[in-house]
């Protein structure tokens, strides 16, 4: 009896008066999972999770929630005695003031799991685990590009061709490019990363110069050309403005890999003759990598067995079989090292440049801090919407980056 009581205290068995004991894992545990509704439709994700959870006999009930409910404050996300476990999908910029952040560093298999993951994806775990990544490149609506008469082979990462391209677009009354820019967002400067990183690498020929800013940083060629590009492009933050996704702009200069599965699947994404042009430097692809993480919050009332099941769930989410299916349906890139290009349902020659390979220049999305990105966003908006002087804006951008 003492042994059974000890096992019950650890959550390994349940003891029921008059009915003996049974394995506690047979009792289903509710898990709240906050995730992005834009990556995979919730009904698809529910079916995928249920299949893998049942296959591994984890006895979990997963309840999907929209992570934007946390961002807007509509829900707190805090675990309690009923919902003991909350898992939150976090973009690199996001953290949440939720009690009970739990890491599994001391659990069996933790170190082995990390060894199977891409090192770049672990740079911003912030107490969690990497879940999946998106990569970004330059996207072209080839149907519109042909109307301009501008040759695709002249499109390169140094943007020396930009003025001629804008002039060609003007002759046929086409918008050169659009950026997805929500005015209420804190860090839409992220959407300028791809062209700016490429410009900076072509300017300096140095990854170190990009990653360790020294003055002049924005006041050189890269920063000036970036503002010129911004001046010629449209910021699509409402239906009133041209959008690449709706076939109203020739280019998207920072297109995420999700387009591989969502083009023409959603009503507001309809790009004819989609072409992807990789940013390159000296024969190497420049890969902008954004990794979303999983943060796990556990109530103090959760017992040892329940925590063990959650660790098994996290291992499942990062397993090769789950990652293969999830990334295939979301257009994302696995955080694992051992998924080959052929493992992705969306992979084809046209989308090959979204896939990181040996020798690529991989830049993680955390080059600037969140506060720095918010500041740069505000300066860009002053230039774009309030027509602030370009030289003044670049000077302020450089002054801030030195602090």
- Looking at residue 266, its pLDDT comes to 82
Letter string b/e over residues 95-132, b meaning 16 or more CB atoms within 10 A of that residue's CB: bbebebbbebeebeebeebeeebbebbeebbeebbbbb
Tens of pLDDT, residues 137-166 = 999 999 999 999 999 999 999 999 999 999
- The pLDDT confidence band at residue 6, using thresholds 50, 70 and 90, is low
Who has greater pLDDT, 26 or 177? 177
- The pLDDT confidence band at residue 18, using thresholds 50, 70 and 90, is very low
375 with 269, same domain: the answer is yes
Tens of pLDDT, residues 260-308 = 999 988 878 889 899 999 999 999 999 999 999 999 999 999 999 999 9
* 350 occurs within a structural domain: no
31 and 310 in contact (C-beta within 8 Å)?
Answer: yes
79 with 219, same domain: the answer is no
Peptide bond into 216 cis (omega under 30): yes
72 with 199, same domain: the answer is no
For residues 210-228, give the mean pLDDT.
94
- Looking at residue 19, its pLDDT comes to 40
Q: Which of 321, 343, 365 is the last residue of a domain?
A: 343
295 with 284, same domain: the answer is no
* 117 occurs within a structural domain: yes
Which whole-number Å values give the CA distances from 204 to 224, 281, 376, in the listed order? Answer: 14, 11, 21
Looking up tokens 């020659």 gives 349
For residues 221-233, give the mean pLDDT.
97
111 with 24, same domain: the answer is yes
pTM over 0.85: yes
Q: In total, how many domains does the chain have? A: 2
Which whole-number Å values give the CA distances from 157 to 101, 189, 322, in the listed order? Answer: 41, 19, 35
284 with 311, same domain: the answer is no
Q: Which domain holds residue 63?
A: 2-133+291-343
- Looking at residue 355, its pLDDT comes to 96
Residue 106 has pLDDT above 80, yes or no: yes
* 348 occurs within a structural domain: no
76 with 125, same domain: the answer is yes
* 330 occurs within a structural domain: yes
CATH code assigned at 127: 3.40.190.10
In angstroms, the CA 390 to CA 188 distance is 19
216 with 277, same domain: the answer is yes
262 with 376, same domain: the answer is yes
- The pLDDT confidence band at residue 401, using thresholds 50, 70 and 90, is confident
55 with 114, same domain: the answer is yes
Tens of pLDDT, residues 69-101 = 998 889 999 999 999 999 999 987 677 889 999
- Round to the nearest angstrom and report the end-to-end CA distance of the chain: 65
In angstroms, the CA 89 to CA 91 distance is 7
337 with 365, same domain: the answer is no
């Amino acid at each position: 009896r003492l042994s059974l009581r000890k096992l019950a205290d650890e959550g390994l068995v349940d003891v029921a008066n008059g009915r003996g004991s049974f394995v506690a894992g047979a009792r289903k545990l509710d898990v709240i999972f906050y995730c992005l509704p834009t990556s995979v439709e919730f009904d698809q994700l529910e079916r995928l999770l249920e299949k893998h959870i049942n296959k591994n006999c984890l006895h979990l009930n997963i309840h999907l929630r929209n992570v934007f409910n946390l961002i807007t404050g509509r829900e707190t996300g805090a675990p309690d005695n009923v919902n003991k476990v909350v898992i939150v999908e976090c973009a690199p910029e996001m953290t949440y003031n939720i009690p009970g952040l739990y890491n599994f560093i001391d659990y069996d298999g933790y170190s082995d799991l990390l060894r199977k993951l891409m090192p770049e994806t672990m740079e911003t775990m912030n107490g969690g685990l990497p879940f999946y990544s998106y990569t970004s490149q330059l996207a072209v609506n080839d149907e519109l590009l042909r109307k301009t008469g501008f040759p695709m082979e002249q499109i390169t990462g140094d943007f020396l061709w930009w003025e001629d391209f804008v002039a060609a677009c003007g002759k046929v009354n086409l918008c050169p490019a659009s950026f997805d820019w929500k005015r209420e967002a804190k860090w839409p400067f992220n959407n300028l990363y791809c062209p700016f990183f490429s410009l900076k690498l072509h300017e300096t020929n140095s990854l170190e110069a990009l990653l360790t800013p020294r003055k002049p940083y924005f006041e050189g060629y890269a920063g000036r050309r970036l503002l010129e590009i911004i001046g010629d492009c449209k910021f699509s933050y409402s239906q009133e403005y041209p959008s690449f996704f709706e076939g109203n702009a020739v280019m998207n200069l920072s297109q995420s890999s999700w387009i591989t599965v969502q083009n023409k699947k959603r009503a507001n994404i309809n790009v004819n003759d989609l072409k992807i042009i990789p940013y390159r430097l000296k024969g190497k692809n420049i890969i902008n990598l954004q990794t979303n993480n999983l943060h796990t919050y556990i109530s103090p009332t959760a017992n040892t067995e329940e925590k063990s099941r959650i660790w098994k769930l996290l291992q499942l989410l990062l397993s090769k079989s789950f990652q293969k299916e999830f990334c295939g349906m979301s257009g994302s890139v696995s955080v694992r090292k051992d998924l080959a290009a052929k493992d992705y349902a969306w992979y084809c020659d046209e989308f090959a440049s979204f896939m990181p390979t040996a020798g690529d220049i991989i830049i993680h999305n955390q080059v600037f801090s969140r506060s720095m990105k918010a500041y740069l966003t505000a300066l860009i908006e002053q230039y774009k919407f309030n027509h602030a002087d370009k030289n003044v804006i670049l000077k302020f951008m450089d002054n801030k980056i030195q602090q």
